[in-house]
Amino acid sequence: MTRATLSEVLTPALRDGYAVAGLVVLGWEDARAYVTAAEAEGLPVILQAGPGCRAHTPLPILGAMFRTLAESAKVPVVAHLDHGKTLDECRAAIDAGFTSIMFDGSALPLADNIRATAAAVRLARDNGLSCEGELGFVGYAEGTPGVGTIPSEAALFEAETDIDALAVSVGNVHLQREQAAVIDHDRLAEIGAVTRCPLVIHGGSGLTNADRALLAHRSPVCKFNIGTELRQVFGKALRQRLSDDPALFDRIAILSAVEGPLVAATKEILRGIGPIGPK
């Protein structure tokens, strides 16, 4: 199965009532584990390169890595730029082979966010790709608080940008280490009633498996961004490997220990939000 765009995996999810995982990648080991898990479950997966990943690894390398994994995978794999802040950054990701971009204008006034996001959508569409936007502001644990998405503004934002997916702020929080988010279901329902595009929950690690399943199967939420939860699995497996063999120094031998736990954790996430019944 070749690389897929965001719309190619989210359109059937919206139609059939399930969600796709947008998994935050920091390196080869986790990216490979995510695709392995997706193949085992027979489900699509979205590999996401966020700002932290891009600060560590250049976009062309990430693009080549995602492309290599996607082109050999048996399931659709989306190569997604997460939280692109400028059109130049979005353009660089497209040039590097990404199939989907997110333009994050959530810190901008509404009119400016609409204008900039619409330009990002045009850029993506001109290249046959998809674009995600954000309205409201999803806050950060131990950091900047969130600002809830206003339903009437969501309707205007979608109409003016023609966005392919909309990230909303409804109680979800980035970088939560505990599954403690309290979702404003009424606000989410109001947003869903006035928009048609798939909705996205950033900070998916802050939701319980049951909460994610409920939203995936009973709301227009079709994409969950999940990073912290899997980074914790990675860190735990890494510490255990080094504790078991303090003399171990070979990088490959050390990092290979994280793949099994990551695959298992990812499979559980994918099953929880994926289609109910036969795939």
Q: Is 82 a catalytic residue?
A: yes
d(CA 61, CA 96): 8
Is residue 191 within 8 Å of 215, Cβ to Cβ?
A: no
Nearest partner of 53 among 62, 64, 44, judged by Cα: 62
> Which of 16, 30, 82, 186 is the catalytic position?
82
Is residue 205 within 8 Å of 176, Cβ to Cβ?
A: yes
DSSP codes, 184-201: -HHHHHHHHHH--SPEEE
d(CA 9, CA 179): 26
- Give the tokens for residue 193: 């009633």
Nearest partner of 89 among 119, 45, 126, judged by Cα: 119
- Give the tokens for residue 98: 């990404």
SS3 214: helix
Is residue 74 within 8 Å of 40, Cβ to Cβ?
A: no
Is residue 199 within 8 Å of 192, Cβ to Cβ?
A: yes
- Give the tokens for residue 55: 């600060």
Largest Cα–Cα distance in the chain?
Answer: 59
d(CA 105, CA 68): 30
Beta strands in 111-215 (DSSP E): 130-135, 165-168, 199-201
Is residue 136 within 8 Å of 148, Cβ to Cβ?
A: yes
Where in the sequence numbering do the catalytic residues fall? Answer: 82
